[in-house]
Structures are given as C-alpha cells and as structure tokens.
Amino acid sequence: MTSTLRALGIARVLLRHRLGDFLEDTAFGRWLWLLRPLTPAKDAADLPRGQRLRLALQELGPIFVKIGQVLSTRRDLLPPDIAEELALLQDRVAPFPGDAALALVEAALGRPVTAVFSGFDLEPLASASIAQVHAARLHNGREVVVKVLRPDIRKRIAADIELLRTLASLADRHHPNAEKIRAQEVVSEIEATLHAELDLQREGANASLMRRTWLGSDDLYVPEVFWDYSTETVLTMERVRGIPSDDIAALDAAGIDRKALAAKGVRVFYAQVFRDNFFHADAHAGNIWVDATRKENPRFIAIDFGIVGQLDRRDQYYLAENFMAIFQRDYRRIAELHVEAGWMPAHIRIDELEAATRAVCEPYFTRPLSEISLGEVLVKLFKTAQRYELTLQPQLILLQKTLLNIEGVGRLLDPKLDIWAEARPVLEKILRERYSPQTLGAEFRKRLPELITHAPDMPRLLHDFLAQQVRGQHSIHMRSEDLAELARISKAGQRQTVYAILGTGLMIVAAVLFALESGGPRFYGIPAVAGIAGLGAFGAFLAAWPRR
C-alpha cells in the first residue's frame, strides 16, 4: 500500500509538470485519465521536457535528485536534451536541522561533540541529497568540515529502490522498447551508486588514496581525512577554501592564469585514468575548486569523493589504444580494438565497423583542433557501435561522463583549449612508461615468488593432463551466453504455460459458479466465490503475459 501511494504521488508530480508521456507506455498509462482532473499543470509546464523533468525530480525529493544525477551519466540510454538537463542537477536541497546533525555526530563517534571539537557550526555549509556538511574546529585549532548522513536516509533509499524495481519490472513486461531501455540494469546501477555514497568511510578511503597519489603536486590538492573522527556515517576532513572552477569572474579577479589551469585539468584527468587508474568521477564545477593563492602556477582542489572510477588493466589498455588511434585517425585500428577488447562479438565485419567509425570521426577533423571534443567523439563512437552489438561496461560510461565534465570545465576556463594537443603527449608518455621493458621486468620480479611457489606442482599437473588425454578422460567445459539465454527462455515459457493453464481453469470455475448461481455472499450481484475465482484468473493471466 505504501509503494502504491508513493507511485501515485510520483505520477501526480509528473502530470503536474506535463510529463505524462513518460508513463504512456507503462501499466499506469491507461489509468492516467483518472488523475488528470485532480492534477492541475504547473505554470512552468511550457518549458522544454528536459527542464520539466529536472524540476519534477527536485520536487520529488533528495533521493530522486540523486537518481537524476546518476541517470545523467547514461548518455547511451537518454536523449541528449534530457541528459544535459539532468546533468545540471546540483545537491542544493533543503537542509535538516543542525541539532539533529549534532546528535547524529555524537551517536556515531560515541562521545559528546565538545570532546572532539572546540567548535561546531549548526548552520550547514552545504546540503546534499545524501548528506550535509558542517564547519567545525578541532581542539588543536585545525579547521575541518564534518559530513553527516541524513537521518533515516538508508530506509528512504531502500523504499524508493524497491519502488523503482517494481516500476522497472513493469517496464520490462510492457514497454515496447524494454530491451533497449534495460530498466533493471539502470536501477541496479542507481542502487550501487547510492549504496557506495552511503558509506562515508569508503568515501574517506577514496580521498585518502587520491591524496597520497597527488601529495606535493603542483596540479591537484586533496584535503586530509581525520580518521579518528570518522565512521561510516560521519566523515571529518580538512577544510579547504577555493574558487569554484566555473566562477570566471572570481578567477579573473584573483589573477589566475586560466589558460594554464585549463591545460592542467586535461593533464590531471589523463594521469588519473591511465597512470593512477583511479579518477574522480563526479568532477563537475561544484566539486572542483581552484587554489586562489597560486596565480602563476595554479592548481585544482578536489572535494567530494563519493564517486570514483577504475578500469581493469585490459579495458585501460584498449581504451588508451583507442585514444591513440583516434589521434592518428586510424579507423581500422579503432574497429579492430573494439573487437579485440571483447566489447563487440567476433563475427562483426571489421570493414563495416571501420566505415561506421570513419563516418563518425571524419566530420570532426574538418574543424580546428581547439573546437573538437574528444568526449563527444567517444560518446558518438560508442553509440554507433551499439548498432553492432556493443557491450559497454558501466566503468566506461562513467569515464565518458567524467571526460565530458572535464572538457566542459576546460573549455569554460579557456575557450581555445586544444584538448588533443594537451592529452596526446601525456597519454604517449604514460603508455611508454607503462609498457616499457623496465616496467615489465619489475612486474615479473614482483610475481616471481608466486611463480616459484607454484613451480613444484607443474610436473604433476602436466602428468595428470597427459594421463587424462591417453585414457580419453579429458573433459571440456564450455560456457555459452546463447545456451543460457535459451534455458532462460525455456523456463520462462514453462512458467507462462503453467500460469495460462491456471488462469484458464480459474476462469472456467468462475463461469460455472456464476452460471449455477452459487450461494453465499454477493458483491454487485456476483457471487463472492465466483468473483474471487475470476480475480485469480485475471492475476494468473497477467503473470502469463509475455515480456517484450
């Protein structure tokens, strides 16, 4: 009942913003006419649909704001106008009372707040969908910020995720484009992202690792984590001050060299992805500040480490090679890399994929290099490849979104920024160092103890293998996604057949009971027993309805 009421509330908000089209192809679509007379449209209903959706999510509350932010990263699923509007969602939500935050801090740390801090500001510095931040001061005089999870946020997220699962199930069953939307996968991605952000100790660990990697750098500063005053629900970090990277007027007033700063931003991103394999994946202007004390040699300050990205070594290698092939306009190599990486099935014709890649990339190279967006090229490449059965990993989608954010910040700081010229030498240097003989030798030396440990077992394993071959006992284990899909379809068909038979039987029972005018209570002239059988038949037929 709670989920039903919440779903009705969501439907009313969407209708108020004239977003009923999003529900037309769902199971609720046929019932929307019942809610429309009770739901007057808002004054802003004539705005573009992306803007109306953003306003609706803000009205639905902090959890839906966060869901909108996560969805904004799925540019492979959303139309461009909606993705761009959702990317504008910021964590500017109504704060919860400072007294409640103070009580949560004391409960998490297990001691009075005065025992930890010499001062704690009840007025929050910032309020987000998951947590809010308060300024404080340690007894040694260090200024810090304390991030506190919202009260009962876990229960609210669990309830909304359960509702989203239900809606996704309905979409899978009834939406005509269910296979392209992949609603359950989207909900799983939202759930994983939200649960990662609910663990502030994990965010602290992300910040600590990034700080250690960039400690002493002239390019990026990461604030210190105070672990003695941090838990899963409270995170205490060094307080930093800077200028938001999109505040051009303040940067100019501070005398910051914006061109040098923009070039550094590109280099830092490529170093994080391909050198460190650990990148800040929520790098919008609100989370990336500029150190105002360094004018000639400016550096960035990173905050909010709830979302970070990593790639496995295989994806990292193939992505780097893809970038280099794009730089060299080697379309054949791009097509081959997509197949070699396993992102696409081996039966795809390389020449067709090469032609499609050329059609995407070639128009960009007619522009000046300073006007080319590498992130935009990558997004279009992946979208084109989807027509050729591309299997895209969530980490690569997160990388796309981060690359677009970084390029947006860079072009805002310096409209003439040549991203290609800045990225290519950094990437070439990293690849030279990563796959140099010295690096490979060091990797071999690191694994040498493991090889030595297993070496005595090799003769026995080889003997057992040869003996199996001689006796004809060697077995081959095969895994096939096609066979698994056939098994799934077969099980689904059997289940649908059972429900269809059950529904038919209950329908016959209902008809017989109604015709024989069975006794007992009646409802609108229909025997209650016959009505129950009829409802059971209706439910069974719904369960038997095939998924699209």
The residues annotated as belonging to the active site are: 282
Contact 226/268 with Cβ under 8 angstroms?
A: no
- The structure tokens listed for 98 are 């400072």
Contact 102/122 with Cβ under 8 angstroms?
A: yes
Query: Which residue type, as a one-letter code, is found at position 456?
Result: P
- The structure tokens listed for 47 are 């705005």
- Burial of residue 537 (CB within 10 Å: 0-12, 13-18, 19+) is buried
Contact 62/38 with Cβ under 8 angstroms?
A: no
Alpha-carbon distance 371 to 176, whole Å?
A: 39
**Separation of first and last alpha carbons in the chain:** 27
Neighbour count for residue 25 (Cβ, 10 Å): 15
Contacts 24+ apart (CB under 8 A), 69-75: 69/129, 70/189, 70/190, 70/193, 70/194, 71/186, 71/190, 72/401, 73/397, 73/398, 73/400, 73/401, 74/186, 74/189, 74/397, 75/379, 75/397, 75/400, 75/401, 75/404
Alpha-carbon separation of residue 328 from 321, 331, 494 (angstroms): 10, 9, 53
